[in-house]
Amino acid sequence: MNVVVVESPAKAKTINKYLGSGYKVLASFGHVRDLPAKDGSVLPDQDFEMFWEVDTASQKRMKDIADAVKSSDGLFLATDPDREGEAISWHVLDLLKKKRVIGDKPVKRVVFNAITKKAVLDAMANPRDIDTPLVDAYLARRALDYLVGFNLSPVLWRKLPGARSAGRVQSVALRLVCDRENEIERFVAEEYWNISALLKTPRGDEFEAKLVSHLGKRIQRNSVTNGDQAATIKALLEGARYGVESVEAKPVKRNPGPPFTTSTLQQAASSKLGFSASRTMQIAQKLYEGIDIGGETVGLITYMRTDGVQMAPEAIDAARAAVLDQFGPRYVPEKPRFYSTKAKNAQEAHEAIRPTDFNRSPDKLRRFLDSDQMRLYDLIWKRGIASQMASAEIERTTVEILADNNGEKAGLRAVGSVIRFDGFIAAYTDQREEGEAAEDGDDEDGRLPDINAREALAKQKVSASQHFTEPPPRYSEASLIKKMEELGIGRPSTYAATLKTLSDREYVITDKRKLVPHSKGRLVTAFLENFFTKYVEYDFTADLEEKLDKISAGELNWKDVLRDFWQDFFAQIEDTKELRVTNVLDALNEALAPLVFPKREDGSDPRICQVCGTGNLSLKLGKYGAFVGCSNYPECNYTRQLTSDGGAEAEAGGSNEPRALGKDPVTEEEITLRSGRFGPYIQRGDGKEAKRSSLPKGWTPASIDLEKALSLLALPRDVGPHPETGKMISAGLGRYGPFVLHDGTYANLESIEDVLSIGLNRAVTVLAEKQSKGPGARGRTAAAAIKELGDHPDGGAITVRDGRYGPYVNWGKVNATLPKGKDPQDITVEEALVLIAERAAKDGGGKAKAKKAPAKAAKAKSDDGAAEKPKKAAAKPKAVAAKKAPAKTAAKAKTTKKSAT
């Protein structure tokens, strides 16, 4: 018997059926070990030695694998076909060697791009060894993300309270969003006029032509800049005679695009289906791992983390055969189509995302898939088959028209297009993805009537319309992923995780599918741009990604890359130790002037306090983050929050006056929008009995109206009785976010919109999925350590932390609140020992318990995770004393492991 190790139990079950009784297939459930979330897990001074930890769940799984390998004939490592999958195989093999169960048994690595019987059997027949350069690239990426997260995040905590953490790729992605917001704020609208004429042919057909020249000068979009100029041209056209100078009909061919890569799939799913990047990858993972099709579990698509655009030769042949069968011979091009990627640093190590069998058309699978799976599979199938279809044939007609008014002449042009042969468009509606440039003819869908050269035209109407240029649009998830790919930032497996991190940390909020940087995200970006400029530069990040690719190709030594990076990075970290908070605030005041000092309607100086009239406004840093305050404090106590939409909203927030939204139609009580110490909230009525609700993540004060306020105040709401128990299911917004609740069981929802709209069927499904995963750990994560004081005489570190109710001293399980008014940066170890002793005495026995548990260091979630893609949630590390590291920080970065989704 041979043992085969895969990543997920779903794949294990399917592959075991393919291989038969001579094999035992076991799942690792993603990563089996990771760097402990504590300082000292990567030691640059010891040639970047890395310390790995196996969590409790993985220990049991590794024991099962080890027991099976003991009595086996050989081991096949069949984890995913990418850098992360290679790393998991390496980790499994390393642990098995340490358990001494391998001996002289043969160990082989197999990879398959699709979970079909043929793909799996072919892979098993062609094994290889573990790809060492690929593992080295993983180790380098993991170490880089760890070193940035564990050393840069504590700098943010010390110099920029309220900031969560920073990461290598996440910080650069955040900069893209913030830079776009800066462009929008600096944008100055310019006036321009569009001029056109509605004309009629001798046969009575009307069409519109646009002005393209005036008195021999070419007219472009912004050429006519004022009403007087537009009126002059309009007058000329009103009195002119019109004649057709030329009619040119030009055939144009449009070729299909390649099959999907990870990024193009995420872009198309966002633009056409409204899916987030993470939702797209969750659904794609299920389609890849397999769906029950009539009693047989079958993988429906190839591996979904790829930047390759080519299909395997047999897949191309199958696609062409399917085109012939379903569309006819005219739709099959003479030769197969081959594609190459334009993305920077693309590896093209795998196939593009395609159906495993083109004969499984969406209609044949409709009854086996849920709605979202069906929609995504339909998109993948259509794009895949269209990539091997004939070009669309379009006839584009351009009509040039001369307007003559007593020798004053102007030129007009009318353009129309007609599809003569639909080609690939018959399979894949070729609408542009968000952010894609227009191709020839894309902007002209209209069809022109029959128009002949040299014939006269009758004027029906001349129009001159005023317009203003618009700022560049905010990024959507789709357009941000496209931009990251163009710049070579991140990799296919990191895009979704990076975007989720930005959202989870509330650095970015999503408003109408657009990414809006939160004030705390803009503060972090401005801080990094001023004091860690190099590490948020696009080219630097892309070059580092290219070095990682060269490591995987065996062209660079991974530790040489780490040494080069660490030398400069550590020096910059050390330089910030002398950085004063006043220096930080001065830099941020200038960098974020439009946000901090929005223009006032009366034209007064936005930096002068509007309450006292003499004080200067400036950023201030408090334990709940940054705010704007007056320099005359405490005589003038004017403060206001920073908002993501600046301007009037910011000033309204500074008045601390409630904003009336309307009356509750049932109780007749006034509903108001207010600002409190924890941010904006909704209130109904007054006094102690008033009901309140904080604004959920993603909702800005400017977007709140009476309808939204009433929906929040109505929570929790009853969804309906559970069909099995008859007990009521409710949906609400709690301490840990949106949820549904049934009989004591909570299940998380993705957004507040889900809370307000979820129906009974979906709620039952969400609860069932939660129960199938088993009980999970609950409770708040440890608060961030903002200062280390040293070791307690009885062992264990003493730290100062910033908690929900203010700063406190922590030692093991003992938490002692600081006296009111005490600056946490001024606390000494002697004062802390007194506070700890008093707190332990009050708790009664707390001190004894505390001796057994040294302090846990503060966590900082690393940027795109510790790895290229999330494999599973990071296990909570055992409490261990922080090791001494070169950066001398005790900060922990919460790492993201690879999960089945």
Catalytic residues, which ones?
303
Cβ atoms < 10 Å from Cβ of 461: 13
The DSSP element (H or E) to which 802 belongs, if any, is strand 797-803
Chain position carrying tokens 């223009």: 599
Helices (H), 187-226: none
Pairing of strands 23-27, 2-6: parallel
Dihedral-angle region of residue 389 (phi above 0 means left; psi in -120 to 50 means alpha; beta otherwise): beta
Strands (E) across 422-454 are located at none
Read off the amino acid at residue 8: S
The structure tokens listed for 805 are: 């109710």
Alpha carbon distance 592, 337 (integer Å)? 50
Alpha carbon distance 177, 154 (integer Å)? 23
Alpha-carbon 511 to chain mean position: 14
Alpha carbon distance 189, 718 (integer Å)? 48
3-state secondary structure at position 72 = coil
Identify which of 29, 18, 30, 21 has the alpha carbon closest to the alpha carbon of residue 2: 21
Q: Sheet with 74-77: list strands edge to edge.
A: 23-27, 2-6, 74-77, 107-109
Alpha carbon distance 337, 255 (integer Å)? 10
Alpha carbon distance 664, 683 (integer Å)? 11
Read off the amino acid at residue 31: H
CA distances from 462 to 231, 363, 415 (A): 11, 50, 18
Full 3-state SS string of 731-787 = EEEECCEEEEEECCEEEECCCHHHHHHCCHHHHHHHHHHHHHHCCCCCCCCCCEEEE
For the chain, the farthest-separated pair of C-alpha atoms sits apart, in whole angstroms, at: 103
Alpha carbon distance 191, 222 (integer Å)? 8
Q: Would you say the C-alpha torsion 764, 770, 774, 780 has a positive or negative sign?
A: negative
3-state secondary structure at position 197 = strand
Alpha carbon distance 310, 562 (integer Å)? 33
C-alpha radius of gyration, the chain, whole number: 32
Identify which of 269, 300, 322 has the alpha carbon closest to the alpha carbon of residue 369: 300
CB distance 709 to 682 below 8 Å: yes
Identify which of 583, 582, 592 has the alpha carbon closest to the alpha carbon of residue 523: 592
How many helices (H) and strands (E) would you count in the chain?
Answer: 25, 32
